[in-house]
Amino acid sequence: MNALILNGETSDLKIEQFILDVLADALKDKGALSQVLPLSEMDIGACTGCFGCWIKTPGICVLNDEGRDVTRKIVQNDLLIFLTPVTFGGYSSELKRGLDRIIGFVSPFFEKVSGEWHHKMRYSALPRLVGFGVLSDVDEAAAEVFHALVARNGLNMHQTPRSEVLVMSLGKQKIKERIWNTLNGVGCEN
Amino acid sequence: MKTRKRVLLLVGSPKKKSTSLSLGDYLVSSLSSFGVTSTTFRVVKEIYNEEGRARMVQELSTTDILILASPLYVDSLPAPVIKTLELICSQRKVQKNAKKIQFCSILNCGFPESQQNDVAFAICRLFARDSKMQWVGGLSIGEGGVIGGEPFRKKQFMYRKLTRALEMSAEALSLGKVIPYEARALTEKTFIPPWLYIWVAERSWRSQAKKNGVLKKLADCPYK
């Protein structure tokens, strides 16, 4: 199994190395090869909203920068992990910068999913989605929004994703347990 | 003499002509009839350079009402909008006596269901909380592609509920009040039946793809 971690840390809000280490260990333990994309260090321009990834170069963003790599790697992996500081309940601007460029991985055409209109899948198989949000302290309101956002992203990928909020003030042991439990929940058992 | 209220409009769309800009412009135009002055900040154009960021911070220091008009990108706000909100929040968090600012959003998505904007609205509410601003609500619009950057006077009948909602919002904001539920309820109705919207949208994609010579490539899977 191949896992892709999109690291959405920002210059102001870094993800502590021990979280990345725990993730790497947990994935390795479960037989997964993992790769981390440090989005803040990548050359990813802002989406221009042109829909060229649908109607000019179907499936490929018209902007020729590392934003294309994000989509390509997502499609080519089995497990997709969002790792981000929880920002007003959502993703950081860095994670979002990468994600804004991936709509080429869906079709421009629509179908109903759970009673709502969503885009059809371009690919027959997409990775399972897991979202890890990091908070410095407990914030129930932000956590609730984070889980809702990952759920909506999952709906657009026609799946039920897993999400977990890692609260730094609860200590490293708790965080490690939550990471392992979440990954177990997506069928990453030994 | 009563000081005029000042509005800062953040437009989240990268496009020159956009639904977000049409909506934001109509709202600030309605606010001007109540004596409110405004400045517009095109987020994508300005947030990634130092001068743009400095200009925005300067404008914010004299703003009474902050309005975000934005499209929905991947179920939440576009990255440049989030970056703008991150900057604003980091500034205001450290201010001991941060200026009283009211914050509202007008969000639009390309799906028929306006409730697909709900998570993005929740993000806006938490931004207001974290930035010590007063959240005064917003308007949620589906079928954003119907507007597509057109000025509303062109199809007045189709947009009558939307323009009424924007005018009600302007009146409330000018009086320092929250956007009324009645205004939000008006925008939650679709402009055209969802099946028709979907049909027109899909026809448009095919037409544009044909023009670009890629009609037969629409279902391509380049990465597998």
pLDDT, one tens digit per residue, over B148-203 is 888 776 667 888 999 999 999 999 999 999 999 999 999 988 889 999 999 999 99
Chain segment B45-73, per-residue pLDDT in tens = 999 999 999 999 999 999 999 999 999 99
Please check whether residue A170 is in contact with residue A14, taking contact to mean a CB–CB distance below 8 angstroms.
no
Reply yes or no on whether the pLDDT at A189 is more than 70: no
Residues of B in contact with A96 (CB under 8 A): 73-74, 76-79, 82
Of chain A, the percentage scoring pLDDT greater than 90 comes to 94
How far is Cα B74 from Cα B154, in angstroms, rounded to an integer? 30
User: To the nearest whole number, what is the mean pLDDT of chain B?
Assistant: 94
Which pLDDT does position B19 carry in this prediction?
A: 95
pTM: 0.96
How far is Cα A89 from Cα A147, in angstroms, rounded to an integer? 9
Which pLDDT does position B60 carry in this prediction?
A: 95
CA dihedral B129, B7, B14, B75 (to 10 degrees): 30
User: To the nearest whole number, what is the mean pLDDT of chain A?
Assistant: 95
Nearest to A46 among B14, B85, B127 (CB): B14
Residues of A in contact with B202 (CB under 8 A): 108-110
Does A111 reach chain B within 8 Å, measured CB to CB? Answer: no
Which pLDDT does position A187 carry in this prediction?
A: 65
Does A149 reach chain B within 8 Å, measured CB to CB? Answer: yes
Mean pLDDT of A1-13: 96
Is A99 in a helix, a strand, or coil? helix
Does A64 reach chain B within 8 Å, measured CB to CB? Answer: no
How far is Cα A76 from Cα B224, in angstroms, rounded to an integer? 7
Reply yes or no on whether the pLDDT at A190 is more than 60: no
> Distance (Å) from the C-alpha of residue B37 to the closest C-alpha of chain A?
28
Q: Are strands A106-113 and A116-121 parallel, antiparallel or unpaired?
A: antiparallel
How far is Cα B41 from Cα B21, in angstroms, rounded to an integer? 10
Q: Which of residues 150 through 179 in chain A touch B, CB cutoff 8 A?
A: 152-153, 156
Which pLDDT does position B116 carry in this prediction?
A: 97
Reply yes or no on whether the pLDDT at B84 is more than 50: yes
Chain segment A123-143, per-residue pLDDT in tens = 998 999 999 999 999 999 999
Q: Between chains, do B221 and A76 touch, taking CB under 8 Å as contact?
A: no
Which pLDDT does position B153 carry in this prediction?
A: 67
Please check whether residue B76 is in contact with residue A90, taking contact to mean a CB–CB distance below 8 angstroms.
yes
Q: Between chains, do B90 and A12 touch, taking CB under 8 Å as contact?
A: yes
HSE-CB at B53 with a 13 A cutoff on CA atoms is 15
Reply yes or no on whether the pLDDT at A188 is more than 60: no
Residues of B in contact with A87 (CB under 8 A): 82, 86
Of chain B, the percentage scoring pLDDT greater than 90 comes to 87
Nearest to B218 among A58, A90, A105 (CB): A58
Which pLDDT does position A185 carry in this prediction?
A: 82
Nearest to B123 among A105, A110, A145 (CB): A145
Q: Between chains, do B126 and A76 touch, taking CB under 8 Å as contact?
A: no
Q: Between chains, do A92 and B86 touch, taking CB under 8 Å as contact?
A: yes
- What's the CA angle centered on B127, arms B22 and A101, to 5 degrees? 60
For B179, which DSSP code?
P
Which pLDDT does position B154 carry in this prediction?
A: 64
Q: Between chains, do A90 and B123 touch, taking CB under 8 Å as contact?
A: yes
Mean pLDDT of B84-102: 94
> Distance (Å) from the C-alpha of residue A178 to the closest C-alpha of chain B?
24
> Distance (Å) from the C-alpha of residue A147 to the closest C-alpha of chain B?
10
Mean pLDDT of A113-129: 94
Mean pLDDT of B115-135: 97
Reply yes or no on whether the pLDDT at B1 is more than 60: no
For the four alpha carbons of B126, A74, A109 and A61, in that order, the dihedral sign comes to positive
ipTM: 0.96
